[in-house]
Amino acid sequence: LLSLGTGTTSEFDKTYTAEETAKWGALQWMLVIQQMAEAASSYMTDYYLSTVFQDLHSQNNYLRVQENALTGTTTKADDASEANMELLAQVGENLLKKPVSKDNPETYEEALKRFAKLLSDRKKLRANKASY
């Protein structure tokens, strides 16, 4: 399973003081709650799937690809300007060089190549079995 995320911001690591939140209106609270719910959904889906694959001793059959530190215009899903597309391409290029996780020093580039080979080998195996 190759799971492609749309990315998240580092905003979810941000903490707020009581003085800051006391000044928020209903709209600010709703925006923060919505962001938290979206992030929680993404994180929990990844956690659940990675746990299931680990329990099945198939952790090499699951790869989640997502940048978790988007900033600026790269966080805007509706910005299809050429400049933003170039920024997003750069984000992707940089992500390829990052380790998959703290526990897995393999880079995303290495993991995607390994994953592509695994899929290719399985397709060849199915094609060989079908020809018998």
- Asked if the model's pLDDT at residue 92 lies above 70, the reply is yes
39 near 12, Cβ under 8 Å?
A: yes
The whole-angstrom separation of Cα 65 and Cα 111 is 10
11 near 28, Cβ under 8 Å?
A: no
User: What is the mean pLDDT of the segment spanning 77-96?
Assistant: 93
Question: Please, what is the end-to-end C-alpha distance for the chain in angstroms?
Answer: 28
pLDDT in tens, 24-83: 999 999 988 887 887 787 788 888 999 999 999 998 899 999 888 888 888 888 889 999
Q: Per-residue confidence at 129, pLDDT binned at 50, 70, 90?
A: confident
Q: Give the three-class secondary structure for 39.
A: helix
What average pLDDT is seen over the chain? Answer: 88
pTM, whole model, 2 decimals?
0.70
Considering the chain, what percentage of its residues have pLDDT values greater than 70?
97
H or E element at residue 123:
helix 108-130
pLDDT score of 13: 61
pLDDT score of 95: 95
